[in-house]
Amino acid sequence: MRFYGRENEIKLLDDIRLQSQSGAKMSFIVGRRRIGKTALIKEGYKNSKFIYLFISKKNEVLLCEEFIPAIEAVTKDKILGKFTKFSDLFAYLMKLSKKDQFTLAIDEFQEFERVNSSVYSEMQNIWDANKNESKMNLILCGSIYSMMKKIFENNKEPLFGRADKKIYLEPFSVNVLKQILLDNCPEVSAEDILTFYTVTGGIAKYVELLINEKAITKEAIINYIFSENSIFLEEGKNILIEEFGKEYGTYFSILSLLSNSKTSRSEIESILEKDIGGYLDKLENEYSVIKKVKPILAKPSSRVQKYYIDDNFLSFWFRYIYSYSSAIEIKSFDLIKNFVRKDIRTYSGRMLEKYLIEKLALTKAYTQIGSYWETGNQNQIDIVALNEFEKKALIAEVKLNPKKISLSDLKYKAINLTDKLKKYSVEYRGFSIEDL
Residue 11: CATH number of its domain: 3.40.50.300
User: Quick check: 135 and 97 in contact, CB under 8 A?
Assistant: yes
Q: What is the mean pLDDT of residues 421-431?
A: 97
Residues in Cβ contact with 34 at an 8 Å cutoff, skipping those fewer than 6 apart: 203, 204, 205, 206, 239
Question: Does 344 fall in a domain?
Answer: no
Same domain, 383 and 300: no
Over pLDDT 90: what percentage of the chain?
A: 89
pLDDT (0 to 100) of residue 243: 85
Identify the domain boundary among 123, 153, 168: 168
Q: What size, in residues, is the chain?
A: 436
pLDDT (0 to 100) of residue 61: 96
Is residue 400 over pLDDT 90?
Answer: yes
pLDDT (0 to 100) of residue 300: 87
pLDDT (0 to 100) of residue 146: 83
Same domain, 16 and 124: yes
Q: Cα(144)–Cα(152) distance, rounded to whole angstroms?
A: 12
pLDDT category at 301 given cuts 50, 70, 90 is confident
Q: What is the mean pLDDT of residues 347-373?
A: 96
pLDDT (0 to 100) of residue 20: 96
pLDDT category at 194 given cuts 50, 70, 90 is very high
pTM over 0.75: yes
Range of the structural domain that residue 421 is part of: 368-435
Same domain, 289 and 372: no
pLDDT (0 to 100) of residue 245: 85
Same domain, 429 and 289: no
Residues in Cβ contact with 145 at an 8 Å cutoff, skipping those fewer than 6 apart: 30, 32, 243, 286, 287, 288
Helix (H, G, I), strand (E, B) or coil at 121: helix
How many Cβ atoms from other residues are within 10 Å of residue 110's Cβ? Answer: 22
Q: What is the largest CA-CA distance in the chain?
A: 79
pLDDT (0 to 100) of residue 242: 83
CATH code, domain carrying 253: 1.10.10
pLDDT (tens digit per residue) in 235-283: 999 989 888 988 899 999 999 999 999 999 999 999 999 999 999 999 9
User: DSSP assignment, residue 380?
Assistant: E
Same domain, 304 and 416: no
- In DSSP terms, 131 is beta-bridged to none
pLDDT (0 to 100) of residue 377: 87
pLDDT (0 to 100) of residue 77: 85
Same domain, 49 and 132: yes
pLDDT (0 to 100) of residue 81: 81
Over pLDDT 70: what percentage of the chain?
A: 100
Q: How many Å separate Cα 280 from the centre of its chain?
A: 18
Helix (H, G, I), strand (E, B) or coil at 104: strand
Q: What mean pLDDT, rounded, does the chain reach?
A: 94
Contacts of the segment 156-163: beta carbons below 8 A, 24+ positions apart: 157/120, 158/120, 158/121, 158/123, 158/124, 159/120, 159/123, 159/124, 162/26, 162/124, 162/127, 162/128, 163/26, 163/27, 163/28
Identify the domain boundary among 330, 359, 392: 330
AA letter at 297? L
Half-sphere exposure of 374 (CA within 13 A, CB side): 7
Question: Does 335 fall in a domain?
Answer: no
pLDDT (tens digit per residue) in 370-384: 999 998 889 999 999
pLDDT category at 80 given cuts 50, 70, 90 is confident
Q: What is the mean pLDDT of residues 331-354?
A: 94
Identify the domain boundary among 133, 168, 203: 168
**Number of domains the chain is built from:** 3
Q: Which one, of 161, 164, 181, lies nearest residue 173 by Cα?
A: 181
